[in-house]
Amino acid sequence: MIDLMTDKVTPNDREKHDEGRQGEAYAPFVQDPNQYQKRFYIESYGCQMNFADSEVVASILNQEGFGATRNLEEADLIFINTCSIREKAEQTVRKRLTEFRKLKLRKKGMLVGVLGCMAERLKSKFIEEERLVDIVVGPDAYRSLPELVAEASGGQKAVNVLLSRDETYADISPVRLDSNGVSAFVSIMRGCNNMCSFCVVPFTRGRERSRDAASILDECRDLFEKGYREVTLLGQNVDSYYFVEESTNRVITFANLMEEVAQLSPLLRVRFSTSHPKDITDEVLHVMARYDNICKYIHLPVQSGSTRVLQLMNRTYTREWYLAKVDRIREIMPDCGISSDIIAGFCTEEEQDHLETLAVMEYSRYDMSYMFFYSERPGTLAQRRYTDDIPLEVKKRRLQEIVDLQGRLSFESNKRDLNKSFTVLIEGDSKKSDQDWMGRSSQNKVIVFPKENYPLQKGDYVNVQVTDCTQATLLGKIIA
Ligand code: 5AD
Ligand code: SF4
Residue 58 sits in a domain whose CATH number is: 3.40.50.12160
Q: Considering 98, 128, 160, which residue would you say is the last residue of a domain?
A: 160
pLDDT at 45 over 80: yes
Q: Residue 272's pLDDT is what?
A: 98
Has residue 245 been placed in a domain? yes
Strand pairing of 251-253 and 135-137?
A: unpaired
Predicted TM-score (pTM) of the model is 0.93
Q: What are phi and psi of 304, to 5 degrees?
A: -155, 155
Ligand of minimum distance to the alpha carbon of 194: 2
Residue 472 sits in a domain whose CATH number is: 2.40.50.140
- The protein residue with its alpha carbon nearest to ligand 2, atom 5, reads 194
Has residue 88 been placed in a domain? yes
Q: Residue 132's pLDDT is what?
A: 85
Q: Buried b / exposed e across 267-293, counting CB within 10 Å, b at 16+?
A: ebbbbbbbbbbebbeeebbebbbebeb
> What's the CA-to-centroid distance between 200 and ligand 1, angstroms?
9
Residue 321 sits in a domain whose CATH number is: 3.80.30.20
For residues 265 and 147, membership in a common domain is answered with no
Stretch 358-381: mean pLDDT:
98
For residues 339 and 463, membership in a common domain is answered with no
pLDDT band at 357 (very low <50, low <70, confident <90, very high): very high
Q: Residue 29's pLDDT is what?
A: 58
> What's the CA-to-centroid distance between 167 and ligand 1, angstroms?
25
For residues 131 and 107, membership in a common domain is answered with yes
For residues 291 and 190, membership in a common domain is answered with yes
Has residue 62 been placed in a domain? yes
For residues 131 and 208, membership in a common domain is answered with no
Count of structural domains, the chain = 3
pLDDT band at 4 (very low <50, low <70, confident <90, very high): very low
> What's the CA-to-centroid distance between 343 and ligand 1, angstroms?
7
Q: How far apart are the first and last CA of the chain?
A: 24
> What's the CA-to-centroid distance between 429 and ligand 2, angstroms?
35
Domain that holds residue 428: 421-478
Stretch 311-315: mean pLDDT:
98
Has residue 338 been placed in a domain? yes
Pocket (CB within 6 angstroms of ligand 2): 192, 194-196, 199, 201-202, 236-237, 276
pLDDT at 8 over 90: no
Ligand of minimum distance to the alpha carbon of 208: 2
For residues 150 and 243, membership in a common domain is answered with no
For residues 204 and 251, membership in a common domain is answered with yes
Q: Considering 108, 128, 160, which residue would you say is the last residue of a domain?
A: 160
Stretch 60-86: mean pLDDT:
95
Rounded CA-CA distance 101/93 in Å is 12
pLDDT at 23 over 70: no
Closest CA to 406 of 471, 470, 349: 471
| pLDDT, mean over the chain | 92
> What's the CA-to-centroid distance between 189 and ligand 2, angstroms?
13
Highest mean pLDDT pick, 36-40, 127-131, 257-261: 257-261
For residues 363 and 445, membership in a common domain is answered with no
pLDDT at 243 over 60: yes
pLDDT at 17 over 80: no
Q: Considering 376, 392, 413, which residue would you say is the last residue of a domain?
A: 413
Q: Residue 378's pLDDT is what?
A: 96
Helix, strand counts (H, E) of the chain: 15, 21
For residues 398 and 445, membership in a common domain is answered with no
- The protein residue with its alpha carbon nearest to ligand 2, atom 1, reads 199
For residues 37 and 124, membership in a common domain is answered with yes
Has residue 58 been placed in a domain? yes
Stretch 43-60: mean pLDDT:
96
Ligand of minimum distance to the alpha carbon of 277: 2
Percentage of the chain surpassing pLDDT 70?
A: 93
For residues 408 and 429, membership in a common domain is answered with no
- Looking at residue 453, its amino acid is N
Lowest mean pLDDT among 30-44, 157-171, 289-303, 311-325: 30-44
Ligand 1 close to Cβ of residue 85 (< 6 A): yes
- The protein residue with its alpha carbon nearest to ligand 1, atom 17, reads 341
Stretch 173-178: mean pLDDT:
93
Residues 6+ apart with CB under 8 A from 348: 309, 312, 386, 389, 390
For residues 205 and 93, membership in a common domain is answered with no
Q: Residue 458's pLDDT is what?
A: 97
Has residue 9 been placed in a domain? no
CA 286, chain centre distance (Å) = 24
Question: Which tens digit of pLDDT belongs to each residue from 103-117?
Answer: 988 888 999 999 999
Has residue 172 been placed in a domain? no
pLDDT band at 37 (very low <50, low <70, confident <90, very high): confident
Has residue 336 been placed in a domain? yes
Cis status of the peptide bond prior to 274, with omega within 30 of 0: yes
Closest CA to 461 of 178, 179, 182: 182
Helix H or strand E segment including 202: helix 201-205
Question: Which tens digit of pLDDT belongs to each residue from 116-149?
Answer: 999 999 998 988 888 889 999 999 999 999 999 9
